[in-house]
Every structure is written in C-alpha cells, then in structure tokens.
Structure 1
Amino acid sequence: MRLDDIQIRDPFVLRAPEDGRFWLFGSTDADIWSGPATGFDTYWSTDLEEWHGPLPAFRPEPGFWSHTQYWAPEVHVHDGAFFMFATFTAEGRRRGTQVLRAERPEGPYAPWSPGPVTPHDWECLDGTLHVEDGPDGVVPYLVFCREWKDVGDGEVHAVRLSDDLREAIGEPFLLFRASEAAWARPLPRPGFPEVHVTDGPWMHRTRDGRLTMLWSSFGDSGYAMGVATSGSGDVRGPWTQSDTPLWPADGGHGMIFADGAGRLLLTLHAPNGTPDERARLFPLEETPDGLRLTA
C-alpha cells in the first residue's frame, strides 16, 4: 500500500539498525478521540514508497489501566532494546506518557514503566525521549507537553529519566509556553478566556550542533508546526521561537529522520481532520537560519 492508503495521526518513522527497514508508527485507531482503544499498529517499508502491514505493535493486556485515547507512539533505540513512548488516558485518571519496551522494532510492546512517567496530577501528552551527554555519560530526558486543560497557555516541559527509562527523577522544568511563539493563535474554550495548544515536541540536533525542537499548535490557518531553538545548545534552553511556522496550515505533529542515504526527511500528518489524516514526507534542509523544507 501507499501512504495515502493509511489513516494515521502523529506519524513517527524509525529506521531499524539491523536491516534498514523503515517502521511507521502513529495514532492508528479509526477514532482516536472516543470509545475503546484497540492499540497501536505499525507498517514497514524498504523504500518509503510501498508499505506493508498493518502489524499489531501494541495491544493492551487485560487490566491495563487505560482503555481509550491511545496517542502518538514514538519508538527509540536505547541500550539495545526498543522503547515506545505513548500517551494514554482513562476515566478518573490524568492523561500521561508511559514507556513500553520490545525486543524488535515491530513489537510486541509491553509496559515498561509502572505507569505514566509524567506527573500524575498533570494533564500531559506527547512525550519524546531526548538524550544529552553529561559529565558521567549520557543523560536521558523526557520532553512533553502539559495541556491547556491544566494551565490555559499550554506548556512544554522536560524531566530527567532514570538510565533504564522506567521512572522520572526529580521535578519537571518549564521550557516554554505556547503563547511565546508569534505564530501561535488562541482558541476559545469553555472556562478559559483563551487557550494556547502545545502538541508533539520533537528534538533535532543539527549537524553543526544546534538543538532544535519541532512542536505544534494552531496558527492563522489551523493546525500548524513551528520550530524552537535552544540558545545554550542543551535542553534547558533558553528557547527562542521561529517567527513563522515551518508548516503553516492544516497539519503538524512532525518528526525528522534520515533515509538510507542520510538525507533528512520530515514526516507529519495532514490534513488534520479525522478520518482523513495521512502521513506525508518532505525533504528537509538545515540552513544557517534554521530548518527549511526543500520541496
């Protein structure tokens, strides 16, 4: 099948180190907004044109705490295994990011952290793994969004993770708020004078060492995606926002990966409305002024 045949939100592409296959993950339930969730599916390709699947990457065991709204799975290779970071929720529980683990990129994935690694009393989503060099070795962080439902002006936070990725260590720290981006527009929501959305952070280190972050909100033409850049080169920032979105209209929640030749590609979903969401791929270029789509 082709990408136009696959309904998917929040697409994530992993190039498997052992065979060079590309694995596509994302929010794959037909209705991710309500009703019981099925799980996450994955698709694979060798050329990014023809895709095979779906294969069941995650199916919850009986007794799993979440039963609805399974969102935005990402898969990262860490210490020789595959770790999925995904958003879950349940009635009477706060939405959060939990870590799952598998021995193969396609799964099956099983819970690894005892529960969400985001604060249990916050509404959180879209956690992504970011690893930095520290004085005693690599340091893993979770970068995630705190929802507007808590704070009105959506936030992006980071928190250190344990080396085995099972738990958060210490307190989260604020990176920025959505309204700091000139391109982000408020939305009307009951109980708030206005709200700003934060979605889908993705960390990208450029070849010359700059640390950038893709993230999504709403702009002049609907769902959109911008870029923030760390002034210090590490996760603590300070973070400055691009004046205009990288993707301005009716799409977003993107990430960056390299193809077999090392060329950078951006994937995101567009359009934004269910059930029409599709993963799209675009060549991406690093310039002295930032990230730029080349086609």
Structure 2
Amino acid sequence: MIKTEDIRIRDPFVLAVEEEQAYYLFGTTDENVWEGKGTGFDVYKSRDLINWEGPSAAFRPGKDFWADENFWAPEVHFYKGTYYMLASFKKNGIPRGTQILSSRKPEGPYQPYTEGVITPEGWECLDGTLHIGKEGEPWLIFSREWTQVGDGEIYGVRLSENLKAREGEPVLLFKASQTPWAENVAPDKDTGGIRYVTDGPFLYDEEDGSLKLMWSSFYNGEYAIGSAESSSGDVTGPWIHEESPFYHKDGGHGMIFRAFDGRRILAIHAPNVRHMERPRFICIENGNKASDR
C-alpha cells in the first residue's frame, strides 16, 4: 500500500466504480513528463482515498504506437459498457493531440481506440475530456495550446455516438484572455509577448442543475483553477466566468467526482512544481471549496 501523500502524479483523475466500491486514480505518471520518452500511464486503486494499491500499468504503447513523448493527462469515462481513456500524446514534428483508448476493465490495459488523435489535425491540443450532453450526445472538450495560438483557447466538438470521429467543426468556447482572472505569463509580456494558458477543462453538472466548466491557468504567478457557467445550459455557452479563481494555491488541473459517502470531491495536483506534485482531494459544497478530505 502507498499513501496519497507519497504518490507523485500530475493531472489526477479519479474514477469511482460503484459496483466495486473502489476508486481508480489515473494521471500523468512518467518520471520526466516534459522532455523524456513517454512510457505510458499507471493506475492506483483505493477503497478510502487514503491507502492505495499499485501502481500497475494502465497503458503501455506498442511498437507501432505513433507518439513517443508528452504522455499527459489521462482520464477514464464509462460509456455504453466500455471504459474509455482520453489522453494527450506528442511526437517531434507532429502536433500534440488527444487520442481515445479503450478497455473492458477500469484498470486496463488500455489499447488505442481511435486512429490517431481525435482533436483537429495540425492543431496543438491537449487535455481532452468527454462530456455527455442533455440529449445523450457525446462532446469532446479540449484546450488549444498557447504554444500555437498565444492566447490559449478551449473548444467543444460533437463526437459520433461510437466516439470514433468528430461531427462538425469545433466550437470556440472562450479564450483565456477573455476571462477576468487569467494572466499573461509571457516573460516579455511588457513588450508585447502573449502566453495565456488553458489547461485541464472539465465539465460538470452543479447540484442546482447548472452546467459548469472548470479549467486551469495562472493567477498572481501561481497555477490556479477557474470556474464558468453556461448561461444557456448547453456546452456551446455562452460561458460566464467567475471574477476570481475557484482555487489559487499553486494547484490545478481539477476534476470533480462523487465519493461513495455522497460527498463531492475536487481532485487536483499541488504544488505545481516538477517532481513534487501530489494528488489532493478537497471536499466541496455548492461549488465552493470546503475542506481537504
């Protein structure tokens, strides 16, 4: 067993499997996630969010897998009887993008499901997440990187029912600079440089029925999480942003899950410091931070 505070992980994602009364923790787990060769994703399993079994291999690339670096931010969703992993990958000369993998078991092993990335070809994209709309239609929500556009963007695009392909053109939900709190973190920002980050979008239904979207950027020099609400109740928005971040203590890339005792829990990594990242689980009520679990 390993304790939560001893797990080094970025971009934590928790899948709660009711039938097992077990939590599965996925995330960016490679030793050198920025420059090193990608080796895959690990998974941990727990009954109490404190003590964890693992790690075990959730995904390891085959010899013919197209990407070899930046294996980032896996998240797993149960959809129509199958577990689907959405994760970001890159290869030198090929833009980063989100690909979908699948497995019959929550712990894997996961195998490529889509033919390459499901995000638009030629775009630098990351952190794709799956959202099921009001009519049961699947959506892919993802970030378009500041490395390509300067002012990071978040998009939504409809997927086919089997998640194999995009349907229609991506819809721009917002740019980072359009929000009240995200800051330009370019080193030369006083002379015209632009670097507005958009990381880790995650959609969730609030307890009052509203549709919310959390995402990460920077605020006062620290990694932070912002929240927005769709004024129409639909994925396409318009999205109305909170004036200040939801969380701003140098932690981010959040998602929300429901614990088996009924509490809603925000999972993040903190601090946002290389080789020091740890998962944190924060109980929330009515969209507000309450306390660490």
**TM-score bucket of the superposed structures, by smaller chain:** over 0.9
Distance 1:164 1:264 in 2: 29
Residue equivalent to 1:204? 204
* Alignment of 1:46 onto 2:47: yes
Q: Residue deviations 1:225-257, cap 9 Å, x none?
A: 110110001101000111111111211000000
Quote the offset at 1:18 in angstroms: 2.2
Alignment RMSD: 1.2
Letter in 1 for 2:278: R
Report the equivalent of 2:289.
293
Partner SS for 1:281: strand
The corresponding residue for 1:155 is 153
1:99 aligns to what? 100
Letter of the 1:57 counterpart: A
Per-residue deviation, 1:221: 3.7
Shift of the alpha carbon at 1:189? 5.3
Distance across 1 between alignment mates of 2:140 and 2:47: 30
Query: Counterpart of 1:114?
Result: 115
CA shift, 1:207, in A, is 2.1
1:142 maps onto 2:143 in alignment: no
Kindly provide the CA deviation profile for residues 164-209 of structure 1, in whole angstroms up to 9, marking residues without a partner as x: 1111111101000101221111011579622100000010101221
Stretches of structure 1 lacking an aligned partner (at least 5 in a row): none
Structure 1 stretch displaced more, 185-194 or 71-80 = 185-194
1:230 aligns with 2:230: yes
Larger mean Cα displacement after TM superposition, 146-155 or 180-189: 180-189
Q: Describe how 1:1-295 pairs up with structure 2 within 5 A.
A: 1-134=2-135, 138-188=136-186, 193-286=193-286, 291-295=287-291
Residues 1-35 of structure 1: CA distance to partner in whole angstroms, max 9, x if unpaired? 11111100000000113212100000001110012
- 1:221 and 1:248 in contact (8 A); partners too: no
SS at the partner of 2:100? Answer: strand
Partner SS for 2:177: helix
Aligned residues: 288
Q: Aligned equivalents of 2:45 and 2:178: distance in 1?
A: 38
**Which whole-Å CA distance do the structure 1 matches of 2:218 and 2:134 have between them?**
33
Contact 1:183 1:220 (8 Å CA) reproduced:
no
Question: SS in structure 2 opposite 1:212?
Answer: strand
Alignment check: 8 A CA contact 2:12 2:279 kept: yes
Does the 8 Å CA contact 1:7/1:30 hold for their aligned counterparts? no
The aligned amino acid for 1:155 is E
CA contact (8 A) 1:266 1:282 kept: yes
Deviation of 1:139 after TM superposition, in Å, equals 0.5
TM-score by length of 2: 0.96
One-letter amino acid of the structure 2 residue matched with residue 176 of structure 1: F
| Native 8 Å contact 1:222 1:250 kept in 2 | yes
4+ residue runs over 2 A deviation: 189-192
Give yes or no for contact 2:18–2:260 (8 Å, CA) kept in 1. Answer: no
**Does the 8 A contact of 2:269 with 2:278 survive in 1?**
yes
TM-score by structure 1 length?
0.95
Distance in structure 1 (CA, Å) of the matches to 2:188 and 2:105 = 44
**SS of the residue 1:194 aligns to:** coil
CA distance in 2, matches of 1:194, 1:109: 37
> Given that residues 185 and 221 in structure 2 are in contact (C-alpha distance below 8 angstroms), is that contact kept between their aligned partners in structure 1?
no
Report if the CA contact (8 A) 2:40-2:60 is conserved: yes
Kept in 2, the 8 Å contact 1:73–1:86? The answer is yes
